[in-house]
Amino acid sequence: MVRVKFFATLRSIAGKREVEIKGVKTVGELLEKLYAEFGEEFKNEIEERRMILVNGKNIDHLNGLDTELSDGDIVSIFPPAGGG
């Protein structure tokens, strides 16, 4: 089971701070499950630009969406940051 933590606007969209997901082997599979559960707005927010950490490591420095997941992993998903 993978624990997924949401931050900022993703918490509002999901209506939760975190969820636990079973049966996913990669970050890409995890996102597909999350998109199915939380809908188009959630998907758009993540696909626009996001930062995803697996156990504190950015997936951009691992294997991207092909980063493998194991039971007990913690995935943190941050929406795009704005500012100026």
List the domain boundaries for the chain.
2-78
Among 45, 35, 49, residue whose Cα is nearest residue 12: 45
What confidence tens digit (pLDDT) does each residue in 42-59 have? 999 888 778 999 999 999
The dihedral over CA atoms of 50, 53, 33, 29, expressed in degrees to the nearest 10, equals: 100
CATH topology of domain 2-78: Ubiquitin-like (UB roll) (3.10.20)
Full-prediction pTM beyond 0.85?
Answer: yes
Other C-beta atoms closer than 10 Å to the C-beta of 1 total 12
What confidence tens digit (pLDDT) does each residue in 3-57 have? 999 998 899 999 999 999 999 999 999 999 999 999 999 999 888 778 999 999 9
